[in-house]
Amino acid sequence: MTLVATLAELVSDFRANGRIVIVGASLAGLRAAEALREEGFSGSLTIIGDEPYEPYDRPPLSKQVLKGWMPAEHTLLPRFREVDAQWRLGVAATGLDRVARQVRLADGDQIPYHRLLIATGTRARPWPNPAEAALEGVFALRSRDDAARLQQALATRPSRVLVIGGGFIGSEVASVCRELDIPVTLTERGPAPLVGALGGVIGEIAAQMQRDHGVDLRCGVSVSSLEGDAAGHVRRARLSDGTTIEVDVVLAALGSIRNVEWLQGSGLAAGPWGVGCDAGGRAFDINGVVTDSVYVAGDVARMPHVLYEYQFLAMEHWDNAVFGAEVAAHNMVNLEPHYRPHLLLPGFWSGQFGVNIKSVGVPPFGDEIIFTQGSVKDRSFAAAYGRRGRIVAAVTFDHGKWLEYYARLIEQSAPFPPPPPGWDRPDIMKPVPAEFPAPGVPTAIPDVVLTGHDPNERRAEFRPRGH
């Protein structure tokens, strides 16, 4: 038998009799399962999720659910086809043994696999002081249960809500509070909301938008401590500028932590930055060598992107979860030369203060910004981000239908600034610095050290900080 025929037989045998385990039962996990079946995989499929719920959609949690328009349990994701899988819901994966090819579960079960997809995503970064975080009235927002609890708290009409952090989740929740006519204070360590994602120029617009809607916005300050009453309910926050605020609901919107702890000791390139993989979703091991049996998709994946100088990007966006999962699923049941790359142009959306914010590309990759369409005053505009004379991203406020135009320009590495539109031009069309903060130093990144001398024994190894 020729090599080609042997490989083809191998693929078809795997598709019929293989055993695939997906860890993560959210958007990426579900879409990967559907894609596997769509690709003709008829072997055994197990989906493991730490939450007890079937896969649900997260974007409505910080918007429609909090507003009380829809209950949190009405967010189940639509199913595109039968997946015929064994669901292990409500039980977390706690370990991975790549030699024995087994996933260890919290209940002690060992689930064997031939190929594994890691789609464990992220979780909300909790308020760092555990005693303060445990106060009644202190929330985080990531899961369906989080949203249900916060919605209940908002429904009791608190006297004031404190949102800590002016990223998308924090800003969306502040917006919901104002819509519900609940007083809200938002603190942001940086100079304006959304600066990390969209830069200071857009951040300033977002700040003004918040103030116009009655948010008590405090930038350049952080929360030093939270204080509770005798019953253990949060009542007060002390800020770094020495002031205090009386509050009875606090949302810690501090960004996310990638769920990689269960991979400790697995020998994969997994750390606080996510799980490294190639553009086809194949995980790297700790040495940076690609594996053949472990794949990654969704928020937890971090892969090189051709449009951004092959830098490794983690794209915590909805469409990255969907399309990354489809690509990983395809590659799990194929062999070279049938691999497909995941070359998504990142994009995201947010709804806040009556404005639909959308973005395409990687705004922080740019260092200049130019308004290209519409009116900043009306908060209805498009703007493009540039770097070294080429367009790398765009953002729109209530101008989302134009994103496709900018996406095409970005894909083609078109010149920056882009040509002016034929109508509806902004008053000022001149590139200005986009004002992104310098990349912060992430906390508690372990060192990676090299060990061994003989080429066959040389290995990388994680050394947790402080050792």
Partner 1 sequence: MAEETPWQQALRYANRANPYPFYTELRKTPVARQPDGTYVVSTYREIVTLLHDPRVSSDVRKLPSRAPAPAAAEPGAEPITEAVIELEPNIITCDPPEHDHDRRMMTRHFFGPADAPHQISDLEPDIRRIVAGLLDGMRGKTRIDVVDEFAYPLPVTLICKILGVPLEDEPRFHAWIETALDALDFGPEAASEEMRSRLAGARRSVKELAQFMAGLLEQYAERPGPGMLSAMVHDGGPDGRMSKGVLASNAVLLLFAGHETTVNLIAHSVLTLLRHPEALEELRRRPELIVPAVEELLRFESSVQFWHTRSAVEDIDIAGTTIPAGSPIFLVYGSANRDPQRFENPDQLDLQRPDNQHLGFSQGIHYCFGAPLARLEVQVAVDEFVRRVENPRLVTDPPPYRHNQIFRGPRHVLVDIDGIRD
List of residues contacting partner 1 (CB under 8 A): 67, 69, 372-375, 378, 380, 398, 401-402, 404-405, 408, 419-424
Residues 6+ apart with CB under 8 A from 404: none
Determine phi and psi for 59, rounding to 5 degrees.
-50, -40
Nearer to partner 1, 68 or 341 (CB): 68
Only one residue has tokens 């501090």, namely 254
Q: What does residue 94 show for φ and ψ, rounded to 5 degrees?
A: -120, -10
Nearest to 190 by CA among 217, 215, 227: 217
Least distance to partner 1, CB of residue 232, Å: 35
User: By C-beta, is 312 or 405 nearer to partner 1?
Assistant: 405
> Nearer Cβ to partner 1, position 422 or 466?
422
Least distance from partner 1 to the Cβ atom of residue 407, Å = 9
C-beta of 64 vs 120, nearer to partner 1: 64
Beta carbon of residue 380, minimum distance to partner 1 (angstroms, whole number) = 7
Nearer to partner 1, 125 or 390 (CB): 390
What single-letter DSSP state applies at residue 242? S
By beta-carbon proximity to partner 1, the closer residue of 386 and 418 is 418
d(CA 327, CA 301): 12
Within a 10 A sphere around the Cβ of 185, how many other Cβ atoms?
Answer: 22
Q: Are 365 and 392 in contact (CB under 8 A)?
A: yes
**CB of 423 vs partner 1, minimal distance in Å:** 5
- Least distance to partner 1 from the beta carbon of 179, Å? 10
CB of 66 to partner 1, least distance (A): 13
The kind and range of the H/E element at 38 are: helix 27-38
**Burial class of residue 13 (count of CB atoms within 10 Å of its CB; 0-12, 13-18, 19+):** exposed
User: What SS3 class is residue 350?
Assistant: strand
The least CB distance from residue 397 to partner 1, in Å, is 12
Alpha carbon 400 to its chain's center: 20
Residue with smaller CB distance to partner 1, 187 or 373: 373
